[in-house]
Amino acid sequence: MSLLDQNWGGAGGADDEAQDDNQQGRQIVTTRDGTLMLIECTPEMFESLSNTMESDSSIDDNNELETGFQLVMRACQSFYQSKIISNDKDLSGIILYGTEKNKNTFDFNHIYILHELAQPSAERIMQLEALSNKNTYKKTYNDLFGSTQSKNYSLNEALWTCSNLFANSPQRLTIKRVFIFTCNDQPHASNLTLERQAKQRAKDLNDVGIEVEVFPILTESITKFDYKKFFQDVLMLSDDELELRNNQAPTGRLNELLKLVYSKEHKKRAYCTVPFSLGETSDGTPLQFSVSVFNMVRPCPKPTKIKLDMKTNMETKIVTKHYLPETAEILMPSDIQYGIDVSNRRVLFDADEIKAIKKFSDPGFQILGFKNISCLLPHHYVKPGHFIYPDEKYVEGSSCLFNALLKKCLEKQMFILCQFTARRNTPPRLVALIPQAEEINKKDPSDRIASNGFHVHYLPYADDIRTLPKNDIPRITDDKVDVFKNIIRGLKFKYRPDRFENPALQILWRNIEATALNKDKPEEFDDLTIPNVENQNKKVDKYTTEIKQMFFPPDYVMGVTKRAATKRKAEAAATSTSEKKRKPDDDVNVEAAARNNSLNKLTVPILKDYCKEKNLKAAGTKKQDLIDAIEKHLTITT
């Protein structure tokens, strides 16, 4: 996935500055990537693929992709599709070289800009589909680029075109990449000048921060791709890297592109960077270091529904106006006050005061003390937390003190209790800073399971904790508990947070894509959150049967059987049974009452239920509205 997701360079990230600015109410600097696909269109690209390539490209469902060109088009298509989900602000474009026709600002021969650098769209994707489809690709290609291919291109000019597109990009790009798709490991073998120019150009690109990547395509006639011949200098590979490349299967990285990925890319930057205050020394010096706050887990947003103008299918915007009901006068913010009605008195505040009420202290952590981890009770949670890591940018030396706190908290099994203000006008919350040591996967040292730092865990206030009645059911005996333990053992697995995809989100993404691209049906999705009861039963059948015999009468159907109201306390039974079998009775009641003109004697919930059942729409929510609706309904039906 690294090809899709290269937005992240090392810890601490240079991007959090942008976020800080954002926090201060400034411009939001969106960071975008730009990717250009530079695709060779020589006759070899239209040969059948080599066996290695064909068998490896798992994506090709029904042997659609016979030629290298088709394969590359499919890769570009997948890249676009994945980008739309992961980060649709990123820009991409496609340039072909070796074509008959040309289309570029410099009138270079045999260079054709198929897609300028822009955000992907459904049109582009459908065009690429036509260019990879077995039945249409030839005609589409010929129509667009001319039927013959030429080797008289200059890779130098092609790269120059790329560099020019980047230079003219309307957006600031953080990462600029050129992907070259070619089956020719020495494009200018016969022309040393061109070769030298191309290498020089590649170096220039590198100097201005444009990365170049090569995806070799192997065909029937071209079965080997030797980076040493030419591309070592283009990619600026060291000899070690060259060795590695030449031994790699050429399909590896291409497959990565071909794979459709439905996953959102998250901006990897700090939520905020704030001071962490330990208190004051005896001479009143505030003791502060600096930490960056990150969000490790947040619900991935669903694609937002937008409102379109039916006539044009174009986007619309909302304009919010405040006006006085009597005079329809449009008001300015300074004309607006905020009121709360309490006991017939309207209490007024202005906007600044509302803000001032929310403002307690400047953003940051204020230490209150330390507590034993065991003070954290299972239900102490209110909202998703953060992760903090020291920041040296604002206060040098933060890391060392932070590290010392971390080590000692881990050793003593303590957490830090702080008052935390995240933003300027956000009221403070109590947070527990839970120490986290680095954890490395023992089997794979490059897989870091957890980074070192503190988890910021929000604690509830007394106001947030509800008082619930005690539930004191007699405990069951140990021998019986053992049967349950067997079930647990049978159904135990190692939970990993990345294991389950969100079914609702995945289905929506796929459906939008299918609609946008005029597909008959969306890509399939395997929902792992639905437990396979059959499999579960296979593992624990023995024990569940035992449990059934242990606790239940023989004819009992779990989850269904209603209690025969025998020895239950009257009230408990009454509420649950009345609820269970209310429906038919109530209908009769309602209808009888309607006939007797005594509907208003029934309670609103009963009337409401009836309306719901019969699908009646009441004009309002008042009781009379419901009664009106029911009466109307009954005179029509009876």
Partner 1 sequence: MASNKEALALVVDIGVGMSQTAPGFDSPLQITSDILQMIVQRKMFQQSKDELALILYGGDETNNDLADENNYQNISVVFSLSPANWHLFEEIQKIKPGNNPADLIDAIVVAADHLRRETEGKRGYVAKRVLLFTNAATPFNDHSLKVILDSLRLQDITVDAIGPSWGQEEEDGDENDRPDSPTQTNGHNEDSASARPTTNGHHHHRNQKKPLTPQQKTGIRIINDIVNTTEGSLFTFREALGMLSIHQSKTVKPTATKYIMQLADIKLHICTYIQVKDNKPGIFRLKKVYARDPKSEIKVDRGRYTKDEHDEEIEKEELTDGFRYGTTFVPINKETLDDMKYQSEKCFSVIGFSDANMMRRSLYLGDTVYEVIAEPTYEEEAQTFTGLVQAMYDTNTVAIVRKCFSERSSPELGFLRPHIAHDHICMYYVKLPFAEDLREFNFDNLDVIKRNLPSAEQLKTVDNLITTMDLSHADRGREEAFQPELISDPYIQRMFQSIAQRAVTPDEPLSLSNTIMEMNDTLIQSIARKSKRTLDTVNEQFILRDTNRRQKIATGEALFGNNDISAKKARLEDNNEEFTTDSTSFEAQAAAKKKAAIKTVGTVTPVEDFKILIEQGSPSLTDVCKQMCTLIFDLINNSHGDSLFEKALQCIQCLREICIDKLEPKIFNDFEVVLKAHSSDIDGRKDFWKKIVDEKISLITSEECIESNVIPIEAKKFLEEETAIQALNNAPINNEQDDEEEDLFDLI
Query: What does the alpha-carbon distance between residue 384 and residue 187 come to, in Å, rounded to a whole number?
Result: 54
Tell whether residue 505 is a contact of partner 1 (CB under 8 A).
yes
Query: What does the alpha-carbon distance between residue 174 and residue 444 come to, in Å, rounded to a whole number?
Result: 31
What's CA 191's distance to the chain center, in Å? 49
Query: What does the alpha-carbon distance between residue 263 and residue 302 come to, in Å, rounded to a whole number?
Result: 11
Provide the phi-psi class of 6: left if phi over 0, else alpha when psi is between -120 and 50, else beta.
alpha
What's CA 458's distance to the chain center, in Å? 23
Query: What does the alpha-carbon distance between residue 452 and residue 388 come to, in Å, rounded to a whole number?
Result: 9
CB of 584 to partner 1, least distance (A): 20
Tell whether residue 402 is a contact of partner 1 (CB under 8 A).
yes
CB of 60 to partner 1, least distance (A): 24
For partner 1, the closer CB: 592 or 604: 604
Tell which positions 283-322 bind partner 1, by CB under 8 A. Answer: 285, 287-289, 294-301, 303-322
Q: Interface mask (CB under 8 A) for partner 1, residues 151-180, using x and -?
A: -------------------xxx--------
Q: Which stretch binds partner 1 (CB under 8 A): 7-15, 39-47, 133-141, 193-201?
A: 7-15
Tell which positions 320-349 bind partner 1, by CB under 8 A. Answer: 320-326, 330-349
For partner 1, the closer CB: 189 or 286: 286
For partner 1, the closer CB: 10 or 638: 10
Contact between residue 90 and residue 36 where contact means Cβ atoms under 8 Å apart? no
Contact between residue 68 and residue 47 where contact means Cβ atoms under 8 Å apart? yes
Measure the CA angle with vertex 360, ends 359 and 361; round to 5°: 105
Tell whether residue 252 is a contact of partner 1 (CB under 8 A).
no
CB of 543 to partner 1, least distance (A): 9
In which element (H, E) is residue 132 found? Answer: helix 122-132
Contact between residue 434 and residue 454 where contact means Cβ atoms under 8 Å apart? yes
The count of residues interacting with partner 1 (CB under 8 A) is 244
For partner 1, the closer CB: 66 or 609: 609
CB of 405 to partner 1, least distance (A): 6
Query: What does the alpha-carbon distance between residue 275 and residue 414 come to, in Å, rounded to a whole number?
Result: 21
Tell which positions 218-247 bind partner 1, by CB under 8 A. Answer: none
Tell whether residue 393 is a contact of partner 1 (CB under 8 A).
yes
Annotate 381-417 with b (16+ C-beta within 10 A) or e (fewer): eeeebbbbbbbeeebeebbebbeebbeebeeeebbbb
For partner 1, the closer CB: 62 or 467: 467
Q: Which stretch binds partner 1 (CB under 8 A): 205-213, 215-223, 432-440, 587-595?
A: 432-440
Tell whether residue 530 is a contact of partner 1 (CB under 8 A).
yes
Tell whether residue 130 is a contact of partner 1 (CB under 8 A).
no
Tell whether residue 564 is a contact of partner 1 (CB under 8 A).
no
Query: What are the angstrom distances between the C-alpha of 53 and each of 158, 253, 261, 526?
Result: 26, 12, 21, 27
The runs of H, that is alpha helices, within 45-95 are 51-56, 68-87
Tell whether residue 417 is a contact of partner 1 (CB under 8 A).
yes
Partners of 345 in the β-ladder: 342
Pick from 14, 55, 123, 209 the residue near partner 1 by CB under 8 A.
123
Tell which positions 17-76 bind partner 1, by CB under 8 A. Answer: 19-22, 24-28, 30
Query: What does the alpha-carbon distance between residue 91 and residue 120 come to, in Å, rounded to a whole number?
Result: 7
Pick from 59, 144, 175, 395 the residue near partner 1 by CB under 8 A.
395
Q: Interface mask (CB under 8 A) for partner 1, residues 65-104, using x and -?
A: ---------------x--xx---xx---------------
Tell whether residue 453 is a contact of partner 1 (CB under 8 A).
yes
For partner 1, the closer CB: 238 or 334: 334
For partner 1, the closer CB: 410 or 634: 410
- Which residues lie below 8 Å from residue 626, measured CB to CB, with a gap of 6+? 604, 607, 608, 611, 618
Contact between residue 18 and residue 51 where contact means Cβ atoms under 8 Å apart? no
For the chain, the straight-line distance linking the first and the last C-alpha, in angstroms and rounded, comes to: 65
> Among candidates 268, 111, 302, which has minimal Cα distance to 174?
268
Partners of 32 in the β-ladder: 173
Pick from 541, 585, 613, 631 the residue near partner 1 by CB under 8 A.
541
Pick from 152, 190, 445, 553 the residue near partner 1 by CB under 8 A.
553
Q: Which stretch binds partner 1 (CB under 8 A): 42-50, 253-261, 488-496, 592-600?
A: 488-496
The full DSSP string for 248-284 is: S-THHHHHHHHS----PPPP-S-SEEEEEEEEE-TT-
- Residue 334 DSSP class: G
- Residue 22 DSSP class: H
Contact between residue 63 and residue 39 where contact means Cβ atoms under 8 Å apart? no
Tell whether residue 631 is a contact of partner 1 (CB under 8 A).
no
Torsion of CA 390, 391, 395, 398, to 10 degrees: 20
Contact between residue 44 and residue 183 where contact means Cβ atoms under 8 Å apart? yes
CB of 73 to partner 1, least distance (A): 17
For partner 1, the closer CB: 152 or 285: 285
The token duo for 124 is 């582009």
For partner 1, the closer CB: 384 or 632: 384
Query: What does the alpha-carbon distance between residue 93 and residue 178 come to, in Å, rounded to a whole number?
Result: 10
Tell whether residue 613 is a contact of partner 1 (CB under 8 A).
no
Q: Interface mask (CB under 8 A) for partner 1, residues 357-386, using x and -?
A: xxxxx-----xxxxxx--xxxxxxxxxxx-
Tell whether residue 124 is a contact of partner 1 (CB under 8 A).
yes
Pick from 220, 243, 280, 585 the residue near partner 1 by CB under 8 A.
280
Tell whether residue 457 is a contact of partner 1 (CB under 8 A).
yes
Partners of 433 in the β-ladder: 416, 456
For partner 1, the closer CB: 196 or 408: 408
Instruction: Note the residue count of the chain.
Output: 638
Pick from 559, 570, 584, 617 the residue near partner 1 by CB under 8 A.
559
Q: Which stretch binds partner 1 (CB under 8 A): 62-70, 184-192, 531-539, 630-638?
A: 531-539
CB of 631 to partner 1, least distance (A): 24
For partner 1, the closer CB: 230 or 294: 294
